[in-house]
A and B are shown apart, each in its own frame.
Chain A
Amino acid sequence: EAQVTQNPRYLITVTGKKLTVTCSQNMNHEYMSWYRQDPGLGLRQIYYSMNVEVTDKGDVPEGYKVSRKEKRNFPLILESPSPNQTSLYFCASSSSGGTGELFFGEGSRLTVL
């Protein structure tokens, strides 16, 4: 089954404790992206990757890092989480670059205390 898998689905952490949200897709897509979704603001892009070892900032990259060492994986790293990073995070992938049909993961709800 074609899917994008994120882990963890739910996480409560404290300010400053580094965490990683993993994302893996099994569709051999070149393009992958991370979004955060906050009430009333819609989906905002954090980082994206056009291919292995190629990453770039989206609209709200501050406080986040990513890496793309393998085609299927695109982890999101919060080096020192802060309460304003409490949000619902989605990973997405596409075979058509950043503007084609996106396949989303189930989401990771992060709370930073």
Chain B
Amino acid sequence: SQKIEQNSEALNIQEGKTATLTCNYTNYSPAYLQWYRQDPGRGPVFLLLIRENEKEKRKERLKVTFDTTLKQSLFHITASQPADSATYLCALGPGGYNKLIFGAGTRLAVHP
């Protein structure tokens, strides 16, 4: 069955540094990949979508890469701020399924 892996350990970084989160997948051929942000006790909020034919996508301080050979996406936040502290979820779709498949998420903590 399809499997999505995000680092279960929290990522702790210093303010101003670049945070890099990883999303790996197996047994799946997604046409695109999405990243969501989730704050404690809140619903996920859509951030970015990258398609399989796009190597890189940017939005303000966010950058996402998508390597279909490595079956991996990297999510970067440059010049990180404490307000960026949250859990970040990757989601893959459709890959033959009529739904998104979500990873469990990685918690990011940015320290002043």
Residues on A lying within 8 angstroms of B by beta carbon are 4, 33, 35, 40-45, 48, 58, 90, 92, 97-99, 101-107
Nearest CB of chain B from residue A28's CB, rounded to whole Å: 18
Contact of A99 with B46 at beta-carbon distance under 8 Å, contacts A43-B89, A43-B102, A107-B41 already known = no
User: 11 other contacts beyond A45-B99, A104-B43, with CB at 8 A cut-off?
Assistant: A40-B8, A42-B89, A42-B105, A48-B98, A99-B32, A99-B94, A99-B97, A102-B46, A104-B44, A105-B43, A107-B41
A-B contact pairs, 20 of them (CB 8 A): A35-B102, A41-B104, A42-B4, A42-B102, A43-B89, A90-B43, A98-B94, A98-B100, A99-B93, A99-B99, A99-B100, A102-B44, A102-B46, A102-B91, A104-B44, A104-B45, A105-B43, A106-B41, A106-B43, A107-B41
Instruction: Please classify the interface of chain B as helix (H, G, I), strand (E, B), loop, or mixed, using the class held by over half of its residues.
Output: loop
